[in-house]
Structure 1
Amino acid sequence: MSALEGALVRWRRLRACYRYANLASHHVLGFTIKLVLLLYFGLALLFLALRYAILPNIDLYKGDIEAAAGRALGNRVTIAHLEAGWQGIHPVLTLGDVRLIDRGGRQVLALPEVTAALSWWSLAAFEPRLHALEVRSPQLDMRRGRDGIISVAGIRLDPDKRDDGRGADWLLRQREIVIRGGRIDWTDELRGRPTLALTDVTLALLNRFGGGHRFALRATPPRALGQPLDVRARFRHRFGARPSDIARWKGELYADLRGADLVAWKQHVDLPFQIASGRGSVRAWLSVDQARVAGFTADLALADVNARLGTTLEPLELARISGRLAAREEMLPGKDEGKPTFGAHGHTISLTDFSVTTRDGQALPPATLEQTWRPARDGRPETGELSARQLDIGALAALAGYLPLPPQQRQMLLDYAPRGRLLDVAAEWEGRYPALRSYRVHGDVAGLAINAQPARAAQPARGDQPAIPARPATPGFQNLSGSIDASQNGGSVTVDSTALVLHMPAWFAEPALPLDRLDLKARWNFDPGKQLLVEVERLAFAQGTLSGSLSGRHSLPLLPGGGAAGPGTADITGTLDGFAINSVGRFLPLGTPEHLAGWLGTALQGGTLRDAHLRLRGDLAGFPFRATGGVNAVLERARGEFHAAGRLENARLEYAPDHRHADGTPLWPVAENINGRIEFDRARMEIRGDTLRTMGVALSNVKAVIPDLGAHEKMMLEIDGNAAAPMQEFLRYVAASPVPEWIGHFLDETRAGGNARLGLRLRMPLAHLPDTKVQGSLQLLGNDISLFPELPQLTAAEGKIEFWERGVALNGVGASFLGGPLGLSGGTQKDGSIAIRLHGILSAEGMRRTAPVPALRRLAQRLSGSTPYTGSVVVREGRRLVTLESNLAGLGMELPVPLNKPEADSLPLRFVLAGEPTVGNVARDEIRLALGEGVAARYLREKTGRAPWTVQRGGIGINVPAPQPDSGMMIHVDMRALNVDGWIAAGKAIAGEGEGSGSDGAGPGFAQYVMPTVIGGRVGELTIGERRLADVILGATHLRDTWQANLHSRHASGYVTWAETGGGQGVGKVTARLASLVIPESSEAEV
């Protein structure tokens, strides 16, 4: 029951409300109908009054109309005559010769004819309102006063004075105003410029309810300024605001000016830059908001422009400008209203199909560019945006010096010096360069180039400048084409470039790296304070015959304050082919130890690396992951891996490139035509030459190893090699190395035949190459060796000659010397000298067969049997000392007395040759010979270059010491009997026919050792010329085949001359001048 009662109560209330609403609506509807009928009949009466009472008598109201128009316009108005009519339902007034007089009494407007159609809204507005106003052939005065206020026909447009501008308000409330065939005179009193007269003016002003205004103007300026001008505008103001308050206007202004002279227009229009010349056409749109320029768009086609866009900038001289230029201001509602603020709150500047050509030929091809900037405010950082399409940034950067850019942007352009084309690129950033807080860049580029940038340390905040974080060095490049999408958190890049040049001065001593082709696809992720991760999906490049590829990833840990916390970890795989080995120095990082970089850059002098592979994995703090072996080997391999290997073709290696001989030749002979492999295994580098040549010698299995690339100052280069070649080639190799210095030039004059084997091992500290250690061995294989030109040749030599950086050693060396066996042993001594011990057997038969000098072979004809001998060869500080000793037991000698000896007898022999160091290409030595106790000889010799030895002076003493003449050859004897005829015959036989016929007896053959120029002595019995003389004291000289002697004996005393026969036949001619002559009875028959 209670629910039903509640429903009834609600129903009664609803019916009551309905009755009350129905009654009220009837009353309102009735009142409205009555009001409408009243207005209708009132308007009808007014219409009838106008049509039949007022308009036919309009002249009676001319004064009232002048007064009403004056009140509306704020100036005095005069009307010469007045007519009335109708245009539809609107009354029309035609006014003739209307003039507007300002408060100063100046005529500011003259209207020959004005047609005004009244609007019925005048009744509601309580002021005259026009449906349309048409003015023909007016003369309008517009001026800017010295106070900066603009007046139009005497109507001041001063937004700061509420009591002014009534005329402007009234005009802007009229529905339509049209001016035809008029003239406008613009006078700028503020700038003191001449009046600008615009003729053939056609103007239309359309005002709509709610504050909308449209404006159109066509006019012809003076011929010097250009072609007719077309200006249009569309503005709005807030509802209820004064229409004449232009500080509250918002809208757009359009202008089209063709064939304009910019310098001439400068007299009448304020330009934001200085201009000296320029002509062309401009079509522009200007957006205005609250008296501020909110945007500007201009289509330009200009020529011969000379403008200075800033007081501190150089003039910009352009042959042509075309394209669209636009600018837009960032507006803040309710702030800086009515004040010009362009750029204060941010702006956007854009170029569309914009091209520029300077007078010196620089051209900016048609490009599209948009740049937006917003200042820092409300705790938010400064921001910027940039987008470009088909933009040649090189040409644009070249013009940057003429443009009014902010200092940080100008510095950025100077630092990076960008060149190339941006095909479709967009960028945005927060912060001010160089302290950018965030950024993003994405788009496509072609032929892009920027300068490399050095690393930058972190800088603290200073004043209003925020702190600048550290920045690593960045590479530069030329002719880069591809796409990029990058931000402060990471990004990706794709490169497909030809004729590319990379610039990496922070990484390499030679920063420019040209590439014929580069194909790259990579991405990276940057987590500030944590890590930088770079992943290369594909990298392929080519330069000439060089090609390579790379893929992998590199993670770099970062410190919270900026900078790297270490080298990071890497996992990289790569290949390389066709690499020119002599260019390795260009690719060495700047952090490479100086001695290693110097050696690699100059030691590897040629050849090509083929089929190279690279594998790098692990924490780079442990690079190159030295292997210590032992139980840690497995852990080391897990910690990291570095391996690179490739094949060498025709490589060239100079072991010590920074060290040379005095004549500039390499310290060690260069290894050439190396074919083998190069391998980096962790810290070990090995170059293995399977085949190579050095100074014509073919080598094999040569290895050049640096065991530890990370040893720095202790880095060692180890070279091992073997060779089998002619012995003489090895001697040439040794002569071109430092070995001669180490062994006292012992082998300088050595010559050899036959093949031999050479093993060589070098240990070269790269930080101090003079401390190089050498171990070498020369295996003799039956070689024929001539140690010195003055010594007979060693034949069929066997054994091993070992040498090192401080000397040489002969081990088990045996040979045949003058047909008999010879053993050699010894080497370098503690004092640095070289001492070689000799022991052998001399045989007459062997001498006859093997003696290299004919005189020795002829001497051997007078010998028989054999005898042992010993000797030594000592070399000390360039001096040679050769000693031979024997008792000659077993050797028979068929020579005149005192050198005749049966085989069984002993006759001690000692031979000493002492050589002095060569000075000025002249060599000197001394020979001493002792035979038994009765014969001694001494020779001083000299030779120049490779000429034969020449005896400068010498002497033979028999039973007396060897004489020492100042020059020539001298024999001094003291004997019981001497057969001169026998010695002459023997000497000629040994020397060879005609060899002893030199004019001075000291020729270069064997005769110079035995044929005297002076003879002196005492002989008990002398046989000469087949005559015997007793108790002879003789002094003889030999000159030009003639002997001259002073003789004193028991048989004769006096002066004797003996002229030898030219052919050596017979005894020749003897001439004597004797003081006494005794002829024995037994010889009388021969006289």
Structure 2
Amino acid sequence: VVWPGGNVFLRYTEPPNAAPRGELRADQLDLHALALIAHRLPLGEATHDALEAFAPRGLVQSMQASWNGPANAPSSYNVKGVINGLAIASQPQARTPGVQGAAVDFEMTQAGGRAKLAIDHGALDLPGVFEEPVLPLDRLAANAEWKFDGPKISVQVGGLQFANADATGQAQFSWHTSDAATSPARSRFPGVLDLTGQFARADGTRVHRYLPAHLPADVRHYVRDAITAGTASDVKFRVRGDLHDMPFDNPARGEFRIGGQVRDVHFAYVPKSIAPPGSLPWPALTQLSGELVFERSSMDIKSATARFAGTPALQVVKVDARIPDLAHNSTVLVKGLVRGPLPDALKLVSGSPLAGLTGNVLSRATATGNADVQLDLTLPIHDMASARVAGSVVLAGNDLQFTPDTPALQRARGTVAFSEGGFTVTGGQARLLGGDLRLEGGSRNVNGEMQVALRAQGTVSADGVRQARELGFL
């Protein structure tokens, strides 16, 4: 063993007919060196195994410890000290957390203790909590207290402040072991958590990194691939209940909610990772601002505004996106009201999978003027071939021609509803062939091809009929 310096005093006695006793005093002591020394001492196999597994490192500024009983199972003990640069390895199988780069001022006995924790450019290692277990931290500070009452363990952490490249925030929480007799886990662990906190700043592209590991990987990866830009602020989070029941689909079991305002989000609701190979890209939403909420097993974007990538003149005046169940058969539901130039809206449809979903009924349509377009998409994450679309276009004096061989409608008013089954016109009014007409009808599938059939009531002029080149539709 290479001794790097520092002072240590160790006394360990096993008097006859009495319990062993030990005393340790140290300052400026390297924990790694101390662990190597401990391997040479008769501390028992369990203690040696623990030292090897947890691989403690750091510099003990000062420490005083005394205990009665075997070192690996003392009947009483008192330990206090200050450690800088503390590193303890996590234990993934037992889901025991680890730490890197911590400064700890602590005092504890067999009944409990307290600690002041600070991390400066270190990390927490949280196996089983996140897909990426190591959580880098630029800064973390917290005060902790814990108590042991027979089999019950309780912990309180206050004044928790943290910052890293992804977020800045604060939190407080309490945790205690479950009652094994009443817990659904039939065990004291993973325990009962009551957590409240807030992110003052968060990077939207890293939301997926903080989704619980119990969610299916493809769902976490969907969130990763779908949200590729954006920031969040005033994000509040709340977790309350037995962690065995996370994410608390039964409200009586507890709460799980993360919610805040997002802005400048790029939301590819059908990212390439789930789109069928070779398919047209879905138009992503850009400059999205609204509320993002993860609650129990659901994800929601609420009352947001946005624009479509590639068609900036189209304004999404309101969009709601929802995944009702992140854990099972996840489906993305998107409902949006789009306002802007109707030619741009038709171009957006014809240049995306929306054209195929609507049977290409609007792929040859031309129009002028502005309009409101309502979109309603159902997008199964695991089966995009089963995607569905419904929507409507509210005409307010537009010129519209459905196909080159149908007559042009001038100053058209009414609603054109569309879906994968075709389109229908209701309450239609327009100038057609030189006269004012009322229109009803739509498209229908004839021998595998969509054909347009419109019923018109009104009058036409002889001059309008002579000038029409589309009489082949009659």
Is 2:80 aligned against 1:442?
Answer: yes
Residue aligned with 1:557, SS: coil
Of 686, 694, 704, 2:321 maps to 704
For residues 703 and 376 of structure 1, the distance between their equivalents in structure 2, rounded to whole angstroms, comes to: 73
Of 96, 105, 121, 1:483 maps to 105
1:585 touches 1:600 (CA, 8 Å); kept in 2? yes
The CA deviation at 1:549 is: 1.1
Matching residue's letter, 1:845:
D
Runs of at least 5 residues in structure 1 that lack an aligned partner in the other structure: 1-308, 310-315, 317-355, 357-363, 456-471, 629-635, 857-867, 870-882, 886-1087
Higher mean C-alpha deviation, range 807-816 or range 402-411: 402-411
2:86 touches 2:104 (CA, 8 Å); kept in 1? no
Residue aligning to 1:751: 366
Distance 1:737 1:440, change over 3 A: farther
1:824 touches 1:836 (CA, 8 Å); kept in 2? no
Deviations 1:991-1043 (A, max 9, x none): xxxxxxxxxxxxxxxxxxxxxxxxxxxxxxxxxxxxxxxxxxxxxxxxxxxxx
1:772 touches 1:805 (CA, 8 Å); kept in 2? no
2:361 touches 2:422 (CA, 8 Å); kept in 1? no
For residues 108 and 279 of structure 2, the distance between their equivalents in structure 1, rounded to whole angstroms, comes to: 54
For residues 192 and 98 of structure 2, the distance between their equivalents in structure 1, rounded to whole angstroms, comes to: 25
Residue aligned with 1:370, SS: strand
For residues 820 and 376 of structure 1, the distance between their equivalents in structure 2, rounded to whole angstroms, comes to: 114
The CA deviation at 1:409 is: 6.3
2:257 touches 2:296 (CA, 8 Å); kept in 1? yes
Matching residue's letter, 2:366:
R
Residue aligning to 2:394: 779
1:743 touches 1:828 (CA, 8 Å); kept in 2? no
2:426 touches 2:441 (CA, 8 Å); kept in 1? yes
Runs of at least 5 residues in structure 2 that lack an aligned partner in the other structure: none
Of 236, 248, 265, 1:651 maps to 265
Of 202, 207, 211, 1:579 maps to 202
Residue aligning to 1:599: 222
Distance 1:614 1:662, change over 3 A: closer
1:718 touches 1:762 (CA, 8 Å); kept in 2? yes
Residue aligning to 1:693: 307
Matching residue's letter, 1:826:
G
1:809 touches 1:828 (CA, 8 Å); kept in 2? no
For residues 196 and 155 of structure 2, the distance between their equivalents in structure 1, rounded to whole angstroms, comes to: 14
Residue aligning to 1:734: 349
Is 2:410 aligned against 1:795?
Answer: yes
Question: Larger C-alpha radius of gyration, 1 or 2?
Answer: 1
Is 2:159 aligned against 1:534?
Answer: no
Is 2:54 aligned against 1:393?
Answer: no
Distance 1:491 1:506, change over 3 A: farther
1:714 touches 1:765 (CA, 8 Å); kept in 2? yes
Of 123, 131, 143, 1:521 maps to 143
The CA deviation at 1:385 is: 4.9
Is 2:453 aligned against 1:837?
Answer: yes
Matching residue's letter, 1:783:
N
Distance 1:662 1:614, change over 3 A: closer
For residues 168 and 279 of structure 2, the distance between their equivalents in structure 1, rounded to whole angstroms, comes to: 36
Residue aligning to 1:370: 9
Identical amino acids, percent of aligned pairs: 31
Scaled by the length of structure 2, the TM-score of the pair is: 0.81
The CA deviation at 1:578 is: 0.9
Deviations 1:377-414 (A, max 9, x none): 7585x7655443122335x37x9499957776665454
Of 89, 92, 105, 1:451 maps to 89
Residue aligning to 1:126: none
Matching residue's letter, 2:121:
A
Matching residue's letter, 1:587:
Y
Residue aligned with 1:538, SS: strand
Residue aligned with 2:473, SS: strand
Of 508, 511, 534, 2:133 maps to 511
For residues 61 and 195 of structure 2, the distance between their equivalents in structure 1, rounded to whole angstroms, comes to: 32
Deviations 1:695-714 (A, max 9, x none): 322112211234456xx325
Residue aligning to 2:442: 826
For residues 597 and 494 of structure 1, the distance between their equivalents in structure 2, rounded to whole angstroms, comes to: 34
Matching residue's letter, 1:555:
H
Distance 1:830 1:644, change over 3 A: farther
1:724 touches 1:755 (CA, 8 Å); kept in 2? yes
Aligned pair count reads 461
The CA deviation at 1:619 is: 5.1
For residues 405 and 751 of structure 1, the distance between their equivalents in structure 2, rounded to whole angstroms, comes to: 87
Of 810, 813, 823, 2:425 maps to 810
1:800 touches 1:811 (CA, 8 Å); kept in 2? yes
1:528 touches 1:558 (CA, 8 Å); kept in 2? no
Residue aligning to 2:473: 884
Residue aligning to 1:846: 464
For residues 568 and 400 of structure 1, the distance between their equivalents in structure 2, rounded to whole angstroms, comes to: 34
2:280 touches 2:353 (CA, 8 Å); kept in 1? no
2:82 touches 2:104 (CA, 8 Å); kept in 1? yes
For residues 381 and 15 of structure 2, the distance between their equivalents in structure 1, rounded to whole angstroms, comes to: 58
2:359 touches 2:420 (CA, 8 Å); kept in 1? no
Residue aligning to 1:551: 172
The CA deviation at 1:368 is: 1.8
Distance 1:386 1:766, change over 3 A: farther
Residue aligning to 2:119: 497
Is 2:61 aligned against 1:423?
Answer: yes
For residues 128 and 162 of structure 2, the distance between their equivalents in structure 1, rounded to whole angstroms, comes to: 21
Higher RCO (CA 8 Å, separation ≥ 6 residues):
2
Residue aligned with 2:225, SS: helix
2:405 touches 2:473 (CA, 8 Å); kept in 1? no
Matches within 5 A, 1:657-668: 657=271, 658-660=273-275, 662-663=277-278, 666=281, 668=282
Residue aligned with 1:810, SS: strand
Deviations 1:796-826 (A, max 9, x none): 3333222234543333445445645674623
For residues 725 and 556 of structure 1, the distance between their equivalents in structure 2, rounded to whole angstroms, comes to: 57
